[in-house]
Amino acid sequence: MHSPVLAIRRTPLVAVYGTLKRGLHNHHWLQDAEYLGRDTLTHITLYDLGHCPGAKQEPSRGIEVEVYRVNASGLAALDRLEDYRVRAPSRGTYDRSVHATTFGPAWLYLYNPGVAGRPAIRQGGWPAN
């Protein structure tokens, strides 16, 4: 059996829940990615940060994500956009970790800063629906 991390390095999948989704202002970062479909994850909660959401690994009633297959350069571009720091993940704005989706293991960006006072979205998606 292959490790999810090794499998994703060969064909990286990314699950997105915010401004990278279709029709939103950062979706162009995924223009060369293959859209695989939607899924619902119950192990993340979104927090409305105003201009974008931040996900925390917390139980929810189901958060909608879109899953894409990206190449290595596409994943590196997303890392820059999300301020993911490979050598110091906890120091960036977002960390990323592998999460199970219907399409296989996918990277998901988790928000590092605190979310005290921010509205939680525990079902549906962002923008709140």
Q: How confident is the model at residue 7 (pLDDT cuts 50, 70, 90)?
A: very low
> What is the average per-residue pLDDT within 71-99?
93
- pLDDT bin (cut points 50, 70, 90) of residue 8 is very low
What's the pLDDT at 6?
47
Catalytic residue among 34, 64, 66, 82: 82
CATH number for the domain formed by residue range(s) 4-124: 3.10.490.10
pTM for the full predicted model: 0.89
Confidence at residue 126, expressed as pLDDT on a 0 to 100 scale: 86
pLDDT band at 128 (very low <50, low <70, confident <90, very high): low
Q: Are 125 and 17 in contact (CB under 8 A)?
A: yes
- pLDDT at position 1 is 39
The residue ranges of every structural domain in the chain are: 4-124
For the question of residue 66 being annotated catalytic, the response is no
Q: What is the pLDDT of residues 32-52, one digit of tens each?
A: 999 999 999 999 999 999 999
Contact predicate 13/68, CB 8 Å: yes
How many CB atoms sit inside 10 A of residue 85's CB? 15
